[in-house]
Amino acid sequence: MGTAEALGMAQPGGAWVPGDEPEIASRTQWQLFWERFRGDPVALVALGFIVLEVLAAIFAPLIVRAVAHPPNAQYPNMLDPRFGTPTGPSSKFLFGVDSVGEDVFSRVLYGARVSLEVALVATALAVLFGVLFGLIAGYYRGGIDTLISRVIDVTLAFPVLLLALGIASACSLGRGCLHGLIKPGLTTVTVAIVVINWTYIGRIIRGQVLSLRQKEFVEAAHAGGARDWTIMGREILPNLVAPIVVYTTLVIPQNILLEAALSYLGVGINPPQASWGEMIAQATPIFNSAWWFFAFPGAALLLTVLAFNLVGDGVRDALDPRMAT
């Protein structure tokens, strides 16, 4: 690992004149990474978009108060009085209304909260568990490795969407499952995502740890009397950062789509809370005439996932310039 070297050390094979050497600042891997990332305009724009979106989600209440209407407030007068069909974009309702007369613009904005929370919280938790169990399995091997690996195998043998559907269905009724610990809605979706996701990264980390623990520096630490957890934390974990980052960037957009899919299928977020997937589901019966109702949430979903994908690409490229395009 790069450690910062002192400036102005003697270069072999040359006379050293004090003061006339340019300052050679050697850079940490992270600085290298950041420089490469900075040079990728597409990734930067995407990152900017995400930052904007996060801000919009955080300040949604203010924005909504300024230019739109509360997301759960119904305006039946915006529905066609003869048929109950919703009206489209107008100056007061920027993205039109949905089938109960709620402001689509506000709901798209608040829907960002759900998607971003899933992206960040659910993914973070999944990665946490995956890394934890992968570390334990790969480091200790033997019985506990077999146990963890088998659990991973069985989970992976399950058709993913069906497993998510099952968990979400089971916990989306009444008081939820585990005696109300897992409530319907965002919590259930998060749990479903975590249960599915941790296995992928668990497997990857386990593989990496298995090979890393053979390396000399680990043996050295062992010989030096360091405890297991210290070794795992100080020696092995830092080497895992790259695959963890790569995996995380790959999986965030997938999880956003998974939450939307679960909400679309009716087992994720339920009304009146706003979620892009649920909005698309609501829009499906009338998508033919009320195009705004499925277009805007869908576009929001597409752009968000796209942005995360682009950032992910940029991160991966910056980490490994050999693959740079």
Site string for other proteins, 178-197 (x = CB under 8 A): ------x-------------
d(CA 69, CA 103): 6
Question: Contact between 162 and other proteins (CB under 8 A)?
Answer: yes
Query: 137 vs 167, which CB is nearer to other proteins?
Result: 167
Subset of 76-135 contacting other proteins (CB under 8 A): 76, 79-85, 99-101
Query: 131 vs 200, which CB is nearer to other proteins?
Result: 200
Query: 172 vs 208, which CB is nearer to other proteins?
Result: 172
Structural contact between residues 189 and 268, judged by C-beta atoms closer than 8 angstroms = yes
Query: 151 vs 237, which CB is nearer to other proteins?
Result: 151
Tokens 């899919």 -> residue: 261
Binding-site member from 159, 216, 223, 225 for other proteins (CB under 8 A):
159
Site stretch for other proteins (CB under 8 A), options 10-18, 120-128, 220-228, 305-313: 305-313
Q: Helix (H, G, I), strand (E, B), or coil: what is residue 86?
A: strand
Structural contact between residues 93 and 69, judged by C-beta atoms closer than 8 angstroms = yes
Report helix, strand and coil shares of the chain as percent, to nearest 5.
65, 0, 30
Report the length, in residues, of the chain: 325
Shortest distance in whole angstroms from residue 140 CB to other proteins:
18
Question: Among candidates 215, 264, 267, 262, which has minimal Cα distance to 238?
Answer: 215
Query: What SS3 string covers 133-199?
Result: HHHHHHHHCHHHHHHHHHHHHHHHHCCHHHHHHHHHHHHCCCCCECCCCECCCHHHHHHHHHHHHHH
Query: 26 vs 270, which CB is nearer to other proteins?
Result: 270
User: Residue numbers of the site for other proteins (CB under 8 A)?
Assistant: 72-74, 76, 79-85, 99-101, 150, 153-154, 156-163, 165-167, 169-170, 172-174, 177, 184, 253, 257, 260-261, 264-267, 270-272, 277, 280, 282-291, 294, 298, 301-302, 305-306, 309-310, 313, 322-323, 325
